[in-house]
DNA sequence: GTGAAAGCGCTAACAC
DNA sequence: GTGTTAGCGCTTTCAC
């Protein structure tokens, strides 16, 4: 593998001149310039990013840490993050925590060992130290008690929109899958708000606590089956996209009429919610904007700039066929 | 940020000794060892991966290049690749080509500039040079004329299984979405084989050519709507998961009985196919094995070992409710 | 056992 | 304009 030295020797110049030529920094005569470009061609020289990183003390890589990138919401948001990072000249390292504590830790370690310049993190338990020491880390859709800035959807708004729609549709008893109220999931905000607004209006609310890592498809379907005796007593259901798809399919199998017998609202609003019949009514999280804000924030932190401690992204109600 | 020198000074030893201690290489007396560990603690020293990379001439990062990681098949396979890479001590850089030629090129450039040690690539048009010069690059589910090894599902087997099932179900006229026959997509193999086997058995086959980048959800649904006058004349349909979901929902909307009026077979078999009612019959690609083989192959190439030029992973027919 | 020194491939400051 | 040199933060000989 040719190095800058090989090029310099071949062109009969010093390595500084080669560097200057290739980076367009400082003056280089047209003649030497040509000689150098020729030598680059002949040697097949490609500058080593590693050596450059050594000097910049940066890798140009941001880690994106999610529970599971196969989940449609995370798949979507990670894609948009990769895209935003790309636009800014950064690369995106994919980290699935898979709820394994060692994985979480090892990805945070990459920040300290400077494999990545920063991390966008969606995990429940950030180590306490994470925020300190000038680490560039932003928490996406999760609370954090470590002084880490947070970017998330406006779940208060989401919970309210859901509740209002159920009320408008005349629902009397609503069920929701929640991930338990003792965790740092910001998602719980929507459940709290929905419950509050609904109960104020005299609508009964049943909350079924799912495992806090309920991200897999099969788990969701199992939960719907397991709690079907409860679900069939309600006339409104709110859960994530996957839960909603599960719910819809089981309801159809059981001969229920959706939305007549049961209104379903899917939270997240990824594209799969448009591929059912009837199409799912959703609260849609604005993934492009979430991604943009996360990237903007983490890159500002990398540059040592001040960043807001909380950014709220509005959600959108899209009424379709299940309400 | 503390460097190895700071630790050495603080512990009153040479940097070589610090290095030896931290890497358990060479002899270090218990006494100095303790002093050094203390100094590490006090300074908060974390070894720089960048400097280590400089010496190893490796980053420990493999790029995974797919058209769009939001697509359920690629989301799944990339997750499994990340997992396999992690097990081998490697990291996974996410690259969405989004069918943009510049993006493709820039990701390949990362190989040359040594940002990544290798690339697992699922793109249609690899630059011709890609295979040469000892580049560690494996093509996943795509043909390549550049001497790049290929890992893919056994689509001959897939096409045959589909055809046989349609025949068994008594279908007389089958429709398929294909991505056009002039491309290097290995997916076309299954379409060719299916057509051949079906026509041999006297079953008529209609092929609808979709855009070669037909990976988005909305595009698929539009295609189903657009060609519905054709689709409603057939009694068998084969397409990818997303296409099949689209097809099922439109069929239900149109009042068709699936599978009585129309058999649907989804190719890919990601988890969303279990969330419909009826559940989709699928040809399932073995993502964990594909991921494992891709990782194994690319890491062997990184190590300069010989690798097979083609690896075929069996697919599996799972009969569910749409046939 | 341990320190000093060379070197990985590059950039940037500084002479000439 | 251009060459030389000093690092960037490590690992790895090689003396002592």
Residue-wise pLDDT for A89-110, tens only, equals: 999 999 999 989 899 999 999 9
Higher-pLDDT residue of A129, B265: B265
Residue A183 banded pLDDT, cuts 50, 70, 90: low
For the CA of A5 and the C1' of D5, the distance in angstroms is 14
d(CA A123, CA A148): 12
Nearest by Cα to A241 from A215, A214, A267 = A267
d(CA A246, CA A129): 39
Domains in chain B: boundaries: 4-47, 61-152+287-312, 155-286
Two tokens, residue A237: 């259901």
d(CA B149, CA B152): 10
Q: What is the pLDDT of residue B229?
A: 96
Residues of A in contact with B46 (CB under 8 A): 112-114
Nucleotide in closest CA–C1' contact with A52: C10
For the CA of A16 and the C1' of C14, the distance in angstroms is 12
Architecture of domain A155-286: 3-Layer(aba) Sandwich (3.40)
d(CA A293, CA A307): 11
CB-CB under 8 Å, A113 with B94: no
For the CA of B297 and the C1' of D7, the distance in angstroms is 39
Nearest by Cα to B265 from B247, B287, B250, B291 = B247
Residue closest to D7, CA→C1'?
A: A55
d(CA A8, CA B240): 53
Residue B200, C-beta contacts closer than 8 angstroms, at least 6 positions apart: none
Residue closest to D8, CA→C1'?
A: A55
CATH topology of domain B61-152+287-312: Rossmann fold (3.40.50)
CB-CB under 8 Å, B44 with A133: yes
Q: What is the pLDDT of residue B215?
A: 76
Q: What is the pLDDT of residue B182?
A: 59
**Contact yes or no for B76/A76 (Cβ under 8 A):** no
List pLDDT tens digits, range B174-217: 999 987 765 567 888 999 999 999 999 999 999 999 876 667 88
Residue closest to D13, CA→C1'?
A: B16
**Contact yes or no for A123/A97 (Cβ under 8 A):** yes
CB-CB under 8 Å, A47 with B271: no
Residue of chain A minimizing CA distance to B102: A86
Q: Please give the average per-residue pLDDT across B156-177, as a whole number.
A: 97
Q: How many CA atoms lie within 13 A of B53 on its CB side?
A: 27
Q: What is the pLDDT of residue B128?
A: 66
Mode of pairing for the β-strands spanning A150-153 and A310-313 = parallel
Residue A92 has its nearest CB partner, among B44, B70, B94, at B94
Distance from the Cα of A198 to chain B's closest Cα (Å) equals 29
Residue closest to D5, CA→C1'?
A: A16
Distance from the Cα of A196 to chain B's closest Cα (Å) equals 31
Two tokens, residue A154: 């406006």
List pLDDT tens digits, range B23-43: 999 899 999 999 999 999 999
Encode A260-276: b = buried (16+ Cβ within 10 Å), e = exposed. Answer: eebbbbbbbbbbbbbbb
Q: Which nucleotides of C are covered by protein (CB under 7 A)?
A: 1-5, 7-14
Q: Is it true that A4-47 and A61-152+287-312 share their CATH fold? A: no
For the CA of A298 and the C1' of C2, the distance in angstroms is 43
For the CA of B272 and the C1' of C9, the distance in angstroms is 48
CB-CB under 8 Å, A82 with B69: yes
Q: What is the pLDDT of residue A46?
A: 96
Q: Please give the average per-residue pLDDT across B307-323, as a whole number.
A: 97
Distance from the Cα of A204 to chain B's closest Cα (Å) equals 28
d(CA B239, CA B224): 11
Q: Please give the average per-residue pLDDT across B93-107, as a whole number.
A: 93
Residues of A in contact with B217 (CB under 8 A): 271-272, 274-275
Q: What is the pLDDT of residue A19?
A: 97
Residue of chain A minimizing CA distance to B63: A93
d(CA A95, CA A76): 15
Q: Which residue do the tokens 């549709």 mark?
A: A169
pTM of the entire structure? 0.96
Q: How many CA atoms lie within 13 A of A130 on its CB side?
A: 28
Quote the radius of gyration of chain B (alpha carbons, Å).
26
Two tokens, residue B178: 């294909």
Residue A184: is its pLDDT beyond 80? Answer: no
Residue A281 main-chain phi, psi, to 5 deg: -75, 135
Task: Please state the three-class secondary structure of B231-272 as a single string.
Answer: HCCCCEEEEEHHHHHHHHHHHHHCCCCCCCCCEEEEEECCHH
> Mutate which of B3, B50, B266, B321 to test chain A, going by most A C-beta atoms within 10 A?
B50
Architecture of domain A4-47: Orthogonal Bundle (1.10)
List pLDDT tens digits, range A282-307: 999 999 999 999 999 999 999 999 99
CB-CB under 8 Å, B92 with A277: no
Q: What is the pLDDT of residue B109?
A: 94
DSSP conformation letters of A63-107: EEEES-TTSHHHHHHHHHHHHHHHHTT-EEEEEE-TT-HHHHHHH
Residue B277 has its nearest CB partner, among A82, A242, A252, at A252
CB-CB under 8 Å, B79 with A69: yes
Residues of B in contact with A69 (CB under 8 A): 69, 75, 78-79, 82
Q: What is the pLDDT of residue A311?
A: 97
How far is the CA of A150 from the CAs of A144, A154, A295, in angstroms?
8, 12, 12
Q: What is the pLDDT of residue A213?
A: 60
Residue A271 has its nearest CB partner, among B79, B217, B276, at B217
Nearest by Cα to A50 from B283, B230, B112, B44 = B112
Distance from the Cα of A38 to chain B's closest Cα (Å) equals 18
Residue B60 banded pLDDT, cuts 50, 70, 90: very high
Residues of B in contact with A275 (CB under 8 A): 217, 220-221, 242, 245-246, 249
For the CA of A25 and the C1' of C15, the distance in angstroms is 18
CB-CB under 8 Å, B68 with A272: no
Question: Percent of chain A having pLDDT more than 90?
Answer: 85
CB-CB under 8 Å, B216 with A245: no
Residue B70 has its nearest CB partner, among A79, A86, A133, at A79
Distance from the Cα of A64 to chain B's closest Cα (Å) equals 10
Can you state the percent helix, strand and coil of chain A, rounding each to 5? 45, 20, 35
For the CA of B3 and the C1' of D8, the distance in angstroms is 11
Q: What is the pLDDT of residue A143?
A: 85
CB count within 10 Å of CB B235 equals 19
Q: How many Cβ pairs within 8 Å bridge chains A and B?
A: 158
**Which of residues 32-51 of B have CB within 7 Å of strand D?**
45-48, 50-51
Cβ of residue B253 lies below 7 Å from strand D? no
Residue of chain A minimizing CA distance to B53: A50
Strand partners, B265: B238, B281
């Amino acid at each position: 593998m040719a190095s800058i030295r090989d090029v310099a020797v071949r062109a009969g110049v010093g390595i500084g001149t080669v560097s200057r030529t290739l980076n367009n920094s400082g003056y280089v005569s047209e003649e030497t310039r040509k000689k150098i470009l020729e030598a680059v061609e002949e040697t097949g020289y490609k500058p080593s990013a590693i050596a450059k990183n050594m000097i910049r003390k940066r890798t140009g890589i941001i880690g994106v840490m999610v529970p599971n990138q196969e989940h449609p919401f995370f798949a979507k948001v990670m894609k948009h993050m990769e895209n935003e990072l790309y636009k800014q000249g950064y690369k995106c390292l994919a980290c699935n925590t898979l709820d394994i504590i060692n994985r979480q830790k090892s990805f945070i370690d990459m920040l300290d060992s400077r494999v990545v310049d920063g991390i966008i993190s969606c995990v429940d338990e950030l180590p306490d130290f994470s925020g300190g020491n000038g680490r560039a880390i932003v928490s996406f859709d999760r609370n954090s008690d470590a002084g880490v800035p947070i970017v998330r959807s406006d779940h208060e708004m989401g919970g309210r929109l859901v509740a209002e729609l159920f009320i408008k549709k005349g629902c009397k008893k609503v069920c929701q899958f929640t991930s338990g109220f003792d965790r740092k999931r910001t998602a719980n905000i929507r459940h709290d708000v929905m419950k509050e607004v609904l109960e104020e209006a005299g609508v009964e609310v049943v909350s079924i606590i799912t495992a806090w890592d309920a991200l897999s498809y099969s788990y969701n379907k199992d939960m719907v089956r397991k709690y079907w005796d409860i679900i069939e007593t309600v006339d409104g259901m709110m859960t994530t996209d996957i839960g909603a798809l599960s719910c819809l399919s089981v309801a159809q199998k059981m001969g229920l009429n959706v939305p007549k017998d049961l209104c379903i609202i899917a939270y997240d609003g990824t594209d799969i919610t448009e591929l059912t019949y009837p199409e799912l009514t959703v609260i849609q999280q604005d993934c492009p904007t979430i991604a943009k804000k996360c990237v903007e924030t983490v890159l500002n932190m990398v540059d040592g700039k001040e960043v807001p401690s909380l950014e709220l992204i509005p959600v959108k109600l899209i009424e379709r066929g299940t309400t």
